[in-house]
Structure 1
Amino acid sequence: MLRLNFLLLLAVMGSAMVLVHSQYQSRRLYTELHRAIAESRQLETEHQRLQVQKRAQATPLRVERLARDRLKMHIATPAITQYVTDDGSAPGAAPRTAGGQP
């Protein structure tokens, strides 16, 4: 009878340890979940802020000013426009015949 009581005591102690461990894991995972949700909200806010900054940086006026100042580009006018005509043949290309065969 003493052995049976000792065996039952070990079983109760073991199940109590498993219960405590599972409650600890549950609490830890719950805390980790809420931490991840908070981080997700923070990242979403950061993403929205960066999207607003990106839109502000890509305005046409700003892009034009940067192209003019940093890249030394200028607007094309009719005075500096060069027109190229295409006579139908490229240099070094064989003449084409009807049917697409040379």
Structure 2
Amino acid sequence: MFRVNLVLLFIVVVCALAVVTAQHRGRKLFQALEAEQEKVRQLDIEFGQLQIEMSTWATHPRIEKTARERLHMVLPPVAAAPAGGR
């Protein structure tokens, strides 16, 4: 009878350690998940800011100004339309 009680006690202790280990691992994984979700939120914010910046840089007046100033481009002279109607 003593041996059976000793074996049962050993099984209970092992199960208790397994529960503690599982809870600890679960908490660590949850902390890692929270950290990754925070990174996702920050990247979403940065992506939105970059989209706004990209749309600002791609506006027609900005492109035209850059073409004139940096590339020294000018509008071609307007030619009169041919009388033939083509």
TM range (shorter): 0.7 to 0.9
Aligned to 1:54: 54
Instruction: Provide the C-alpha distance between the structure 1 equivalents of 2:38 and 2:58, rounded to a whole number of angstroms.
Output: 30
- Cα offset, 1:78, TM superposition: 3.0
Structure 1, gaps ≥5 residues long: 80-102
- Cα offset, 1:61, TM superposition: 1.1
Q: Once the two structures are aligned, what percentage of the paired residues are identical?
A: 35
Post-superposition CA distance 1:39-73 (Å, at most 9, x none): 11111111111111111111111111212222232
Task: Tell me the secondary structure at the aligned position of residue 73 of structure 1.
Answer: coil
Instruction: Provide the C-alpha distance between the structure 2 equivalents of 1:63 and 1:34, rounded to a whole number of angstroms.
Output: 42
Structure index of larger Rg:
1
Instruction: Provide the C-alpha distance between the structure 1 equivalents of 2:42 and 2:25, rounded to a whole number of angstroms.
Output: 25
1:27-66 residue pairs with structure 2 within 5 A?
27-66=27-66
Instruction: Provide the C-alpha distance between the structure 2 equivalents of 1:76 and 1:15, rounded to a whole number of angstroms.
Output: 85
What TM-score do the two structures reach when normalised by structure 1? Answer: 0.67
Single out whichever of 51-60 and 66-75 deviates more from structure 2.
66-75
Structure 2, gaps ≥5 residues long: 80-86
What TM-score do the two structures reach when normalised by structure 2? Answer: 0.78
